[in-house]
Structure 1
Amino acid sequence: MFPEHLRWQSPRCLLGAGLIGLLLVLPLLTHWLELGFYLSLATRIVIYAIAATGLNLILGYGGMVSFGHALFVGLGAYVVGICSYHGLDDGWLQLLIGLTVTGAVATAVGLVSLRTRAIGFIMITLAFAQMFYFLGVSLKQYGGDDGLPLYQTSILDPLPPLDDKVALYYLALAVLLLCMYLVWRIVHSRFGYVLRGFQANERRMLAAGYSRMRYQLSAFVLSALICALAGMLMVNLTTFASPSYLSWQASGEFLLIVVIGGMGTVVGPLLGAFALLSLEEALSSMTQHWMAILGPLILLAALYASRGLWGGLVKSAATAGNQEGAGR
């Protein structure tokens, strides 16, 4: 669409660079304005964007509608919480254990759920998430329904302590940018083209000799690992591991974030997380009936922004650029 030497000047790149620049200076703005609470909100938005980025890999590019990805966020959170409960505060070791456990569970869930299609896949992923939700509720030693407090945040030497909110924010932002870059590289690789091919025309891809289970299971497991990273960061932010992280409501939020931001776009999950969580925070501070207002707003976004917020912004920026060019 753009010449090679002007590609960095495209609306998509300029908008993305502006958004990343804003995220980088956000802690300075909150400190200058003495609005420390908004740094915690921004960290939560970034963490939700990480989880939505993982889900977007299989939903936006693979056509797999998972209604149970909160399972992997909850697994990451509980691994950190349980390790800390037993005195294991080494964050790197927690990361290794969390990714190993999540990878094993995701492989088992994927092997079962990917044997089905459409509504069957949705219901099986939901069923697994609910099974682990009730497992979390039943673990009385680890708080049961009340959840598990985190008495010591993860220690990631030589990184700064994560009880420093600024350090946690920049770590979460670094993980988000790394995950976004990873997804971008994957979807523009041979693996990504095959994955998108199964979304577009499964019969043709099978006839070409590609294994549906191999490609979709690999994407499913990688998606789950990204969500586990979000869970590990979330428990360090809230200092609490709750069964609610595993609930179907949390899975629904991640789906909603991807749809609002723009399915099949790298930046969409970040915009979706910002829009949804900011609206929730603003409306809940104004009225106790905020959900009745949020629902119609989400409906309007789904009806009039079919390509999501990111698609709408890119289109608007491109239109404005074309008009400016025509006026010169």
Structure 2
Amino acid sequence: MTRERLFNALLLAGLVLVPLAAQAADEPFTITLATRAVILALAAVGLNIALGLGGLVSLGHAAFFGIGGYAMGILASHAQSYAPLAEWPILIEGTKSMPVIWLVAILASGLAALVIGALSLRTSGVYFIMITLAFGQMFFFFTISWAAYGGEDGLSIYVRNGFPGLNTLAPLPFYGLCLVLLCAALWLFDRLAKSPFGLALGAARQVPARVAAVGLDPTRLRLVAFVISGAITGLAGALFADLNRFVSPAMLSWQMSGEIMVLVILGGVGRLFGPVAGAVVYVTLEHLLGGITEFWHIFLGLILLGIVLFARGGIVGLVAGRGGGHD
């Protein structure tokens, strides 16, 4: 077993054991922190498909994160006893079922990724970065003006949505659901990276002209990766909104896009467990240093600077003792 695989196994074991220990010690807040880390890791896994496998530097992934969140908020608000949408008599059937909400979030964010990707991939380099940022800001300002669903104040959901056979109001069962979905996303990333599609996508990232020469369309490969990436990030957004029982335009801000990208870079771009390591470190620093100073991002910046300068493979690459991408 390589050092990277051993590190991945230990990290996964920690994600299982720490919440169980917190439950035994009656510390639900620790479980909530772990849930936040797992959900952010899921969003980062989504971005890692576009960035790590496809080489697509997107600053608009918060749009998919927010679309997933609003998919949850809108469906759940229509299922609640009160009616927050007097201005919008839309015929939407509300639901409090997590599987249905997840499906809607995946489809909505995947469709948005298809449209945004089809337009953005007409460009490359810094132009691609800026156009994805522009699309993200368009969605952000739209939600601010969407008064029917809270506008700038956001939308509160007073009771967490349900999953058949589980008490999702308890911290541990909901954490378990999020962890299972994260593991499924990691499995998908691993399968994609090792599949013919993943190999072709990697080749399109490195030498697009050669991929086109053998009859493959590099743009189509990138678009498929971008859609899958957006769909997974949208699922994470739905879970994040359910965790907080609140959705707001802040989920679609460019700062959120930057935060998701930081998780990938911190853990290791293209690494299987890179987003997980990045999310765990980020949430831990936020909790420990956030109580000391509101300027805790300074320390995060120093760590990120060190990673970029001396550990191009991120935390996982540093542990593995080599740079590069997916193993």
TM-score of the aligned structures, taking structure 1 as reference length: 0.90
Match of 1:124 in 2: 131
Structure 1 residue 97, shift from structure 2 partner: 2.0
1:243 and 2:249 matched = yes
Q: Which amino acid aligns with 1:110?
A: G
Match of 1:173 among 171, 179, 192: 179
Query: What secondary structure is seen at the aligned counterpart in 2 of 1:286?
Result: coil
Match of 1:53 in 2: 45
Query: What secondary structure is seen at the aligned counterpart in 2 of 1:89?
Result: coil
Match of 1:191 in 2: 197
1:23 and 2:15 matched = yes
Q: Distance in 2 between matches of 1:100 and 1:292?
A: 37
Listed as ranges, the gaps of 5+ residues in structure 2 are: 80-94, 323-327
Match of 2:222 among 212, 216, 219: 216
Q: Normalized per residue, which structure has more helix?
A: 1
Structure 1 residue 29, shift from structure 2 partner: 1.3
Q: Distance in 1 between matches of 2:315 and 2:97?
A: 39
Match of 1:296 among 277, 296, 302: 302
Match of 2:33 in 1: 41
1:65 and 2:57 matched = yes
Tell me if the contact between 2:4 and 2:317 (Cα under 8 Å) persists in the aligned partners: no
Q: Which amino acid aligns with 2:28?
A: G
Structure 1 residue 274, shift from structure 2 partner: 1.0
Tell me if the contact between 2:3 and 2:320 (Cα under 8 Å) persists in the aligned partners: yes
1:182 and 2:188 matched = yes
Match of 1:115 in 2: 122
Pairwise mapping of residues 72-83 of structure 1 onto structure 2 (< 5 A)? 72-83=64-75
Q: Distance in 2 between matches of 1:285 and 1:130?
A: 30
Structure 1 residue 166, shift from structure 2 partner: 0.5
Tell me if the contact between 1:148 and 1:240 (Cα under 8 Å) persists in the aligned partners: yes
Pairwise mapping of residues 250-289 of structure 1 onto structure 2 (< 5 A)? 250-289=256-295
Query: What secondary structure is seen at the aligned counterpart in 1 of 2:168?
Result: coil
TM-score of the aligned structures, taking structure 2 as reference length: 0.91
Listed as ranges, the gaps of 5+ residues in structure 1 are: 1-8, 317-328
Of 71-80 and 11-20, deviating more is: 11-20
Q: Distance in 2 between matches of 1:174 and 1:92?
A: 13
Q: Distance in 1 between matches of 2:215 and 2:181?
A: 35
Structure 1 residue 301, shift from structure 2 partner: 2.5
Structure 1 residue 95, shift from structure 2 partner: 2.2
Match of 2:148 in 1: 141
The change in CA–CA distance for 1:267 and 1:82 in structure 2 (over 3 A counts) is same
The change in CA–CA distance for 1:66 and 1:27 in structure 2 (over 3 A counts) is same
1:202 and 2:194 matched = no
Q: Distance in 1 between matches of 2:236 and 2:174?
A: 12
Q: Which amino acid aligns with 1:105?
A: A
Of 167-176 and 279-288, deviating more is: 279-288
Q: Which amino acid aligns with 1:147?
A: G
Query: What secondary structure is seen at the aligned counterpart in 1 of 2:309?
Result: helix
Q: Which amino acid aligns with 2:271?
A: T
Tell me if the contact between 1:84 and 1:151 (Cα under 8 Å) persists in the aligned partners: no
1:88-120 residue CA offsets vs partner (Å, 9 max, x unmatched): 212222222222222221111011001100111
Q: Distance in 1 between matches of 2:158 and 2:27?
A: 26
Tell me if the contact between 1:261 and 1:272 (Cα under 8 Å) persists in the aligned partners: yes
Structure 1 residue 280, shift from structure 2 partner: 1.9
Q: Distance in 1 between matches of 2:283 and 2:15?
A: 16
Of 204-213 and 214-223, deviating more is: 204-213
Query: What secondary structure is seen at the aligned counterpart in 2 of 1:152?
Result: coil
Tell me if the contact between 2:31 and 2:175 (Cα under 8 Å) persists in the aligned partners: yes
**C-alpha RMSD over aligned residues:** 1.4
Match of 1:91 among 80, 85, 98: 98
Q: Distance in 2 between matches of 1:226 and 1:157?
A: 22
Q: Which amino acid aligns with 2:180?
A: A
Q: Distance in 2 between matches of 1:249 and 1:289?
A: 15
Tell me if the contact between 1:162 and 1:236 (Cα under 8 Å) persists in the aligned partners: no
Query: What secondary structure is seen at the aligned counterpart in 2 of 1:287?
Result: coil
Query: What secondary structure is seen at the aligned counterpart in 2 of 1:60?
Result: helix
Query: What secondary structure is seen at the aligned counterpart in 2 of 1:66?
Result: coil
Structure 1 residue 135, shift from structure 2 partner: 1.0
